[in-house]
Amino acid sequence: METSKCIIIGGGPAGYTAAIYASRANLSPILFEGLQPGGQLTTTTEVENFPGYPDGITGPALTDDLRRQALKFDANIQSGIVTAVDFSKRPFEVTVNGTDTYTAHTVIIATGASARYLGLPDEQKYMGMGVSACATCDGFFYRDRSVAVVGGGDSACEEALYLSTIAKKVYLIVRKPQLRASKIMQQRVLKKENITVLFNCNTLGLFGDEVLEGAKIIENQGKENEQVFEIAIDGFFLAIGHSPNTDLFKDSLTLDKDGYIVVQGHTTATNVEGVFAAGDVADPHYQQAVTAAAMGCRAALDAEAYLIEHDDL
């Protein structure tokens, strides 16, 4: 197969935006979307802060718009999962679905980040039977029931608010004495009658016969007024941040202590010339759809500049 000018790994806002720019620059990019086209946008409810959508837009609809825009400029979007990369060879090798090898002169990594779990054995035990990291996907099952959301950031507040429209009762389990979420989200959560915020609380474990029936909570852990109590819940939703999807790259690229790809200065260049990174996989700080999209744009421009500089490729 002919060597591509540009392969993009990941179908979130960063990947699709990179595809829009790379296509318009005649790089004929191939984009591999992976298992979950849209990435985390598919698990979000209403996106209210993506410029250009004054009335808000759902995550899946925004994904569809970005994807259609990339297709309009003839990006080659494929549903394969990248299972290996070899950046020690030139051109670079990208293996898809374990079997098919593609080669490219530049690679843009936009593999995003995945939801984190607390690491309790009970999370595995009740996975799919009460434990979830996606309220939009699974909230529907909890109509008129009681649920808990863990976390104090924007995601946790968003999930709690969404669930409060379906469930009878929502507990928000927050380990600190305050929420980290933006003020507007805090206000919405604190105003909502069927949401109870449990500040200074951590989850010790989950219980229930076969399906989840409750959680054991510890308040003020290690302090004089420490107390342990139980809440009756049918659903337990994690919203405690994300880990970058960089397993594939840990042997070939420089990662920071949390596993995010390190980019050089104001560019999207990684430590391997010709390999660029964009979006949440390389941005532990902003993690917004719009900043991911912007970084995808920058990665495509960086790839284009690299190819112009290496016009013998």
Contact characters 48-87, ligand NDP, x per CB under 6 A = -x--------------------------------------
Q: Which residues of 41-53 are buried (b: 16+ CB within 10 A; e: fewer)?
A: bbbbbbbeebeee
> So which residues are the catalytic ones?
134, 137-138
Nearer to ligand NDP, 111 or 155 (CB): 155
Please give the angle made by the CA atoms of 21, 25 and 29, to the nearest 5 degrees: 70
Nearest residue (CB) to ligand NDP, 34 versus 152: 152
Whether residue 309 contacts residue 33, with contact meaning beta carbons closer than 8 Å, is answered with: no
Q: What are phi and psi of 219, to 5 degrees?
A: -110, 140
Among 158, 283, 302, 304, binds ligand NDP (CB under 6 A): 158
Interface pick for ligand NDP out of 72, 143, 176, 310 (rule CB under 6 A): 176
Residue 72 tokens, joined: 């309009």
What does the alpha-carbon distance between residue 84 and residue 70 come to, in Å, rounded to a whole number?
Answer: 24
Residue 58 burial by Cβ neighbours in a 10 Å radius (0-12, 13-18, 19+): middle
Q: How far is the CB of 180 from ligand NDP (least distance, A)?
A: 4
Closest CB to ligand NDP among residues 104, 198: 198
Of all residues in this chain, which one has the CB nearest to ligand NDP in the complex?
153
Closest to ligand NDP by CB, 241 vs 259, is 241
Give the 3-state secondary structure of residue 216.
strand
Residue 244 binds ligand NDP, judged by CB under 6 A? no
Q: Which of residues 85-144 bind ligand NDP (CB under 6 A)?
A: 118
Q: Can residue 284 be called a binding residue for ligand NDP (CB under 6 A)? A: no
Q: Please report, for residues 110, 140, 185, 296, the alpha-carbon distance to residue 290 in angstroms, rounded to integers and kept in the order given.
A: 14, 28, 18, 10
206 binds ligand NDP (CB under 6 A): no
The conformational region for residue 67 under phi > 0 = left, psi -120 to 50 = alpha, else beta, is alpha
Binding-site ranges for ligand NDP (CB under 6 A): 49, 118, 150-156, 158, 175-176, 180, 239-242, 287-288
